[in-house]
Structure 1
Amino acid sequence: MLVTYLEASRDFCETDSIRFGAALAVCRIIGSKVSTAGRATGHSSAIPAWRRRIEERIAKARTLIGRLICFKSGNNRSRIVRTVRMAFALSQPDITQKLTERIDDLKQRIAVRGKRIRRYTERSTRFNQNRLFQSDQKRLYASLERPVVSGTGPAPNQADTVAFWRGLWSEPVSHSEGSWTEVVVSQCAGITPMDPVIITPDDVAEAVRRAPNWKSPGLDGLHHY
C-alpha cells in the first residue's frame, strides 16, 4: 500500500489515511486487536452513565406532567387518555384531585433529581481539581481564573481625558482654608512623628502564612497556597 499510494499523495490528510490504512492492514494480518473508536474525534466527551440515567428519568417525568396537564385542560386525544388510564381509573370521582397530586409529586421528583445532578457535578469537579493540583498546578490555576469582562462602549477620547486630569493635577489652585486648620496644627505640634516603616522578610513570611488558601493573585499573578 505504501509503495503504491504514498508517493502519489500530495495531501496531508490523504497521507495520514494511507499510513493508517497500512498500519491497520498489518495489525489484521498478524492478528493484533486494534480499536479505531475515537480516532476521528480524539478524546471522548460522552455523558456519564449516572447523569444520563437521571436525565432520562427527568425527561420522562416532564413528558408525563405535560400529558396530565393537557388532560386536565380538556384534551382528550387517544395518546393522552391512554397515559392517564394507565395511571388512574378514569371513572374515579376524585380524578382531578389525584391528577393534581400526581403532578405535584412529579415536580418534586424532578427538583430532587436536578439537585442530585448538581451535587454529583460539584463533587466530580472537586475531585478533578484535587487530582489536577497534584499533576499540573498551572492548569488548575488557569481554570480558576475568571475571564476579564471589559466594557463594550466606545473608548474615551484621549484629548478629553488629558484635559480632565490636567485640570485636576497640573493647574495650581489656591485654597482658602478656615481658622480651624491653625487650631489643628497647634494641637498636633507636640506629637512625635512615627518612625519609618521597614518591611522585613520575616514580616512578609508571617503575612503569607496567615493568608487563606486560593487567595486572589497580586501583580505577580501567583495564587497563594
Structure 2
Amino acid sequence: MKPRLPKIIYNNKAKSILGEINKILDSKITTGIPIENLHSLIYSRAAAVLTLNKQKISTDTQVKNVPVTPAWHRRITNKIDSIRRDIGILTQNQSLNPSSSVTKKAKAILEREQSLENPTATEILDHLKQKLKAMAKKLRWYKESNTRRQHNSQFSRSERSFYKNLESEDHEIETLQENKVPTPEAMKTASVPEANRPPSAAELEFERVHLLYDGMDPMMKPRLPKIIYNNKAKSILGEINKILDSKITTGIPIENLHSLIYSRAAAVLTLNKQKISTDTQVKNVPVTPAWHRRITNKIDSIRRDIGILTQNQSLNPSSSVTKKAKAILEREQSLENPTATEILDHLKQKLKAMAKKLRWYKESNTRRQHNSQFSRSERSFYKNLESEDHEIETLQENKVPTPEAMKKFWESTWGNRVIHKNTRWLFDERTSTSNLQTMSRVGIMEESSEEQIPLV
C-alpha cells in the first residue's frame, strides 16, 4: 500500500544527498535484520532522497495508464508558447505607457529577431504572427499524421479492437454534436421531409457500385486494395455504414449480404479516390528495393546536372540552361574555387562511383537471394540456376553475328574509298617534317635472337 516512488532526477545535489543518506542507512542495518525491516529502511532511504531533492511523491499506490505526450508535441507547443509570449510582450510594448520591464524584454526580442533587413517593431510582430500560424498548422498536421499512424498500427494488430475504438470515437463525436446548439441551417435541413431530400454523393455511389457488381460471381469480382485510412475515409465510412444499415434486413440471403458488403467497400474506395484494379487475380509484381530506387534517383540527378553543364558550355546556351548551370555550380562547392570544367569532371567521377555502387549492391543482393534460396530448397535453387544459365546462353547465341553480317558490317567501314581533305595545315606539317631523316629498317634474324636469348 506504499506510494510508488518516481525515478530520481540525478544531479550534483542528489549525489551529495545520496551520500549522506547512505551513511545513515549503514548505521541502521545490522546482522540478522528481518527482510521486512530491511525493505522498510531501503524504501525510507529512497523517499528521503526524493523529498530532499524536492521531487513530489504521488499518493497513488497503483500505476495509471497516463498517455505520454510525444516529444514532437512538447517541442512544438513550447515553441508556440514562446512565440505567443513574445507577441504579447511586443503588443504590450506598443501601448501608451509600457513598463520598464516590458520595454527591456521587447528590446531583447527585437534584437533577437533580425531575420529581415532593418526591420521595424511592426514588421517583427507581423513576422511572429505568421510564424505562430505556421507552427499551429505544423502541430495540426503532426497530430493528424500521428492519428493515422496509430490507426494503421492498431488495424494491422487487431481489426476488432480498431473498429471498437472507432465506434467509441464516433459515439463521442455524436454526443458532442448532440450537446451543441443546432444552427439555423441545420434546423432548416432537419425540417425537410426525408422523402424530399436529394440523395447524397455516398448514396449515389453506393447504388452505382451495387448495380455494377450485384449478381456477379464473387470469384470474378475485382480484388479491392487496402483502404488508405484518414479523416476523409473515416467520414465516408460513417456515411456508407448508415446506408448499409438501412439495406440489411432480417433473413437476407448470404449472397445478397456479401454483395452489399462488397459494394460498401468499393464505394468507400471510389469516394476516397483510390483505384480499383480490374484484374481478378493477384500478380506477383517484383518490387524494386528502396536502395535501388534511391541510388537510381541519385544517378538520374547527377546525369541531369552533367547534361545541363555540358549544354551550358556550348556556343549559345539558353537563359534557362545558364540559370540552372549557375545553381549547380553554386551547389557543388566541395573543391576550393572550382571552375566549371573541374565541377563537371567531379560530377562524372561521382556518376562513375554511384554506378559502381549500384552494380555492387545488385551483386550483393543476388548473392543474398541465392544463399536464402539455397538454405530453403537446394532443388529449386539449382533449377533456377540452370534456367538463368540457359537464358544467358540463349542471349549469347542470339548475339553472335553470322559471317554474312560481319562481312556486310566491315565492308561498309573499309570497303568504300575515303577522300581526305587537303587543307593548309597538312601541307605545313609535311613541309616542317620534310628535313627529318627516316629511321632505317631493323632486321631481326634468327641467329641474332638465339645469341641474345639463352636456351633453357
* More RCO (CA 8 Å, sep 6+): 1
Q: What TM-score do the two structures reach when normalised by structure 2?
A: 0.26
Q: Larger C-alpha radius of gyration, 1 or 2?
A: 2
